Amino acid sequence: MVNRYYKQEMCSFIGEEGQRNISQKHVLIVGMGALGSASAEMLVRAGIGTLTIIDRDYVEWSNLHRQQLYSEADCEEVIPKAVAAKRRLSVINSEVKINEYVMDADTINLPPLLENVDVILDATDNFDIRFILNDLSQKYYIPYIFGSCVASYGMTYTILPGKTPCLHCLLKEIPITGATCDNVGVINPVVQLIATYQVTECMKLLVDDYESMRLNFLSVDLWKNQHYTFRVNKAKRTECLSCGTHPTYPYLQYDSQTKTTVLCGRNTVQLRPHLTTDFSLEMLENKLKRHLTVKRNPFIMTCEYESYRFVFFQDGRVFIHGIDDINKAKKLYYSLLG
């Protein structure tokens, strides 16, 4: 068949008109780990018009059991996830426009990327970023699909600005675990399940089938054979600072932003120095290779310093592996770079 979407169009709830809608829509996925990989591939195969993907990290060996877009070669070459994902997704469907960004998802970087975005899909690994996404969803009136997985447990919820409670409303209503896959692990099947729920809800939005939306909060534990839905329509609060009558979007305020981050479960600190121009990996390589062994590709540079591993990104961020003390990490950084 010449039409690659024929079987999808055969579904009465999509049809040719629905497929045209999908091909004209724009989805933003924040995080290209397990959920992001699975969701991006499904959306690209479904014929999404434009996909924007954001991730701050690079591919590691521990990613491969569940992050389906990546290969051993990506690990060996230390390729940023967003770059590796675009390479693979473009091979799957060359018709889709894919915008990739290797950077932090924060209150500075995200707003410029929201223009013409129809759905925000959450594939992050921490609630700092999720609450930022929640506030941006409310401020710019863009549907936001929350998702999370740890061990064999997963949860997802679709937020429609002006209609449903937001994530801020639900904070005290839903048993949201503080565990992450970095400290309790995760199995691949639950990732695929939650991504499937997220993408299905996303496709309903893309074809404008609001009547079929699942408005309950979904929680599953595959290993324990548990499946729960929570009715949350009464959780919406008029005094909510994110979606209430007089919103202030608290998680978009400067004081709420994380400037230095300890990457949970990885014994790693991320530093984000203030830079006025693009960070030059070539210049940094020329400086450090005089006394250190340095490895560099077009996106990342790595080196070993005092038994710690430094990973520098093009936007100036640096991961310092082997440490979870922020103050000590800063001292190491300035000791190395001056």
Q: Report the percent of the chain where pLDDT is more than 70.
A: 91
State how far the alpha carbon of 318 is from the alpha carbons of 28, 234, 270, 309, 310, in Å.
25, 43, 6, 10, 7
* DSSP run (H or E) holding 44: helix 34-46
The pTM for the full model equals 0.85
Least Cα distance to 21 among 118, 143, 159 occurs for 118
Query: What local confidence, expressed as pLDDT, does residue 282 receive?
Result: 87
CATH number of the domain at 259-337, out of 3.40.109.10, 3.30.310.10, 3.40.1130.10, 3.40.50.300? 3.30.310.10
CA dist 199 → 43, 45, 192, 306, 323 (Å): 7, 11, 10, 45, 37
DSSP string, 246-262: S---GGGSGGG--SEEE
Six-digit token string for 72: 């051993």
Q: Looking at residue 276, what is its pLDDT?
A: 44
d(CA 307, CA 261): 20
Per-residue confidence (pLDDT) for residue 314, from 0 to 100? 86
CB 136 within 8 A of CB 142: yes
| Residues contacting residue 89 through CB under 8 Å, at least 6 positions apart | 40, 41, 44, 51, 69, 96, 98
Q: Where are the domains of the chain?
A: 6-254, 259-337
State the CATH class of domain 6-254.
alpha beta
Cα distances (angstroms) measured from residue 211 to each of 34, 174, 201, 215, 311: 29, 24, 11, 10, 47
Per run of 10 residues, the mean pLDDT along the chain (length 338 residues) is: 88 97 98 97 98 95 94 95 97 97 91 96 89 96 96 95 93 58 82 97 98 95 95 92 94 66 76 65 86 90 91 89 86 81
Same fold, 6-254 and 259-337: no
Tell me the pairing of strands 97-102 and 119-122: unpaired
47: helix, strand or coil: coil
Count other C-beta atoms under 10 Å from residue 109's C-beta: 14
**Six token digits for residue 294:** 């340095």
Distance CA 203, CA 15 (A): 12
Report the alpha-carbon distance of residue 166 to residue 141 in Å, rounded: 12
